[in-house]
Amino acid sequence: MLAAWVLLAAPLSAPAQIASNPPELEQAIATTKAAFPKLVQFGPPDDTEHFLNAVDDAELEKLKARLTSGPFDDKVEAAVYVMLEGFSRMQGPAQTFGRNLTSEIAGLAATSHDKATLEGVGRVLMRFLEDQSHPFSILSQGLLGEKIRCGAASEGDDALVASITKAVNPDKEYDFGSTDGNTADRFGIHPQADLFSVAARGPRVAVAGYFGSVLVSQNGGDSWDAPNTGTDEPFFAVIFGPGDELWAAGRAGALVHSKDGGRSWLRRPTPFARHIFGLYTDAPDTVLAVGDYGLQLRTENGGDRWLCIPRVQDVILGRIAPVDSDGVVVGEFGTIERLPKGIPPGKRGMLRGVPEDTYVYDAWFDETGKVGLAVGLAGTILRSDDGGATWNKVKTEFTQDMFGVGGSGSHAVVAGEGGLLALSTDGGQTFTRADSPPLPIPLYDVDFGDADHAYAVGPRGLVLRSTDGGAHFKVVHGGSGS
């Protein structure tokens, strides 16, 4: 047993000796020695590969402070490079420490609000990325793509955003667009698109889905319009803003804005191509978009400029439910966060007796702002009666995946796999199956326009409507109905 372990470990503990370091590294080592003499303890000069022995904790904190609040210069950049490169050549816990440090430094740079810092750390990471055999190459790809790019976008450093986008997506040479954004409109695809999101306000209903589809009804779902949104990218979220505003967003950063209730749409591209799964708005021309890789983007001028708010954790963020004047965002790994005024960072709700890895898809709060429901994979229904501070699991007969929840007053409806629609009339304490057509397809979202009218959406343009507070649902669009 031991012999086997030694054999396995042998090649790891004795890697091929690197003859000499590249000149830019030697240069950086010299700069670091001169500028931060106490930061790095260097090894024996003959071991060019393992040139780094240790890092002084206090000096490291000082360096981090330079990253957070400046000033940033060539010397800091050299020190960061030397330190991270040194850790990348170590094994086991030391390398892991190096990885975490890399991640942390990227996070600090992203939130530094300083172009020089972003560009400097970006250059270091870019160097790792370009060397495909570098232990931190893939790590750097992620950090550059998410954190540095997010920071650069929030600083308006479009050149850096573009250069990172090019570097992390080697596919760009093949990106000829493939469609002009009007294909779905021209070929009449919109009415049959898979629908992922529904928003209802009184008799106005908007549903959004695949191929840039936003279907709008002004009469509670009796008739629908399928306007051209100018994109063929899938949409995963649609919300009503103040007045006649509508927002929809989805794959690869696609986001559109309408100021006339969905008749005409403006493309408001986000700074880089990350999927958007949730939207929140509480003021004109203002929207928060969240999504894949913990994306958090906010605009206050209708999408002319985007503020990217970096997150520490890379979690998939889903829909955002309005509660009082805040938003509650849900996502991967049991994420249920209350965002004050809809602005991240938020405060995480406590899950009591609920596994931390619960995948949460959607949440809804009643008018009091106290009672909340959240739904997720494998029949998960969570309930809060303290405005989302703590959550408990609701016991039901259902085991299928739940993708949407919506309600009005004490009525709440959950939607899920296998055409499931279940109704609660007691503020989410108990659920029973609603009377709906037996559909072997998933339903992705549900929303109430008023106390009686509820809408649920699914694949192929399917919209179900209830006119009695969620007790009975009937197909009003798509499916076999049209």
Q: What are phi and psi for residue 358, nearest 5 degrees?
A: -60, 130
Q: Is residue 184 within the footprint of another protein (CB under 8 A)? A: yes
156 or 191, CB closer to another protein?
191
3-state secondary structure of 188: coil
Considering only 51, 72, 136, 444, the residue that binds another protein (CB under 8 A) is 444
> Does position 377 bind another protein by CB under 8 A?
yes
Nearest distance, CB of residue 63 and another protein, angstroms:
34
Q: In the range 89-128, which residues lie near another protein by CB under 8 A?
A: none
Residue of 78, 85, 82, 79 lying closest to 135 (CA atoms): 85
Per DSSP, helices labelled H in 352-402 are none
CA distances to 213, 224, 229, 302, 373 from 261, rounded to whole Å, are 15, 13, 12, 15, 28
Tell me which of 114, 326, 337, 401 binds another protein, using CB under 8 A. 401
Query: With binding defined as CB under 8 A, does residue 133 bind another protein?
Result: no
Beta strands in 8-137 (DSSP E): 40-42, 52-55
CA angle 395, 396, 397 (to 5 degrees): 140
Question: What's the maximum distance between 2 C-alpha atoms anywhere in the chain?
Answer: 81
Rounded CA Rg of the chain: 26
Whichever of 265 and 403 has its CB closer to another protein, that residue is 403
Residue 453 within binding range of another protein, rule CB under 8 A: no
| Cβ count near 148 (within 10 Å) | 30
For the CB of residue 460, give the shortest distance to another protein in the complex, in Å: 9
Site string for another protein, 219-258 (x = CB under 8 A): -------------x-x-x--------------xx------
Does position 188 interact with another protein (CB under 8 A)? The reply is: yes
Rounded-to-integer distance, Cα 363 and Cα 349, Å: 12
Which 18-57 residues touch another protein, going by CB under 8 A?
none
Establish if 187 lies at the interface with another protein (CB under 8 A). yes
CB of 290 to another protein, least distance (A): 13
Shortest Å, Cβ 175 to another protein: 6
* Residue 454 CA, distance from chain mean position: 27
Report in angstroms how near the CB of residue 438 gets to another protein at its nearest: 10
Q: 């703590």: which residue's tokens?
A: 390
Cβ proximity to another protein, 106 vs 184, nearer residue: 184
Do residues 296 and 317 lie in contact, with contact meaning Cβ atoms separated by under 8 Å?
yes
Query: Could you give the angle at which helices 92-110 and 115-130 cross, rounded to 10 degrees?
Result: 140
Of the candidate spans 105-113, 188-196, 381-389, 421-429, the one that interacts with another protein by CB under 8 A turns out to be 188-196
Cα dist. 88→37, 95, 102, 120, 416 in Å? 21, 6, 10, 19, 45
Question: How many residues form the binding site for another protein (CB under 8 A)?
Answer: 43
Region near another protein per CB under 8 A, out of 272-280, 282-290, 390-398, 407-415: 272-280
If the CB atoms of residues 97 and 187 are measured against another protein, the closer one turns out to be 187
Nearer to another protein, 36 or 272 (CB): 272
Dihedrals phi, psi of 419, to nearest 5 degrees:
65, 25
Half-sphere exposure of residue 26: CA atoms within 13 angstroms, side-chain side: 8
- 37, two tokens: 């003499």
3-state secondary structure 333-349: CCEEEEEHHHCCCCEEC
The 144-183 contact track toward another protein, x by CB under 8 A, reads -------------------------xxx--xxxxxxx--x
**Residue 471 Cβ, how far from another protein at the closest point, in Å?**
25
Please state, in angstroms and rounded to a whole number, the distance separating the CA atoms of residues 335 and 344.
13
From 18-26, 84-92, 240-248, 435-443, give the range in contact with another protein by CB under 8 A: 435-443
Applying CB under 8 A, does 185 fall inside the site for another protein?
A: no
- Cβ closest to another protein, residue 20 vs residue 133: 133
- What is the distance between the alpha carbons of residues 45 and 67, in angstroms, rounded to a whole number? 29
Q: Is position 212 an interface residue for another protein (rule: CB under 8 A)?
A: no
Binding letters toward another protein, positions 308-327, x by CB under 8 A: --------x-----------
Euclidean distance between CA atoms 375 and 354, whole angstroms: 12
Torsion over CA: 428, 434, 439, 440 (sign)? positive
Q: Is position 332 an interface residue for another protein (rule: CB under 8 A)?
A: yes
Regarding 335 and contact with another protein (CB under 8 A), the answer is: no
CB count in 10 Å sphere of residue 171: 7
Give yes or no for residue 397 binding another protein (CB under 8 A). Answer: no
**Shorter beta-carbon distance to another protein: residue 231 or 408:** 231
Give contact residues for another protein (rule: CB under 8 A): 169-171, 174-180, 183-184, 186-189, 192-194, 196, 210-211, 232, 234, 236, 251-252, 273, 275, 277, 316, 332, 359, 361, 377, 401, 403, 417-418, 440-442, 444
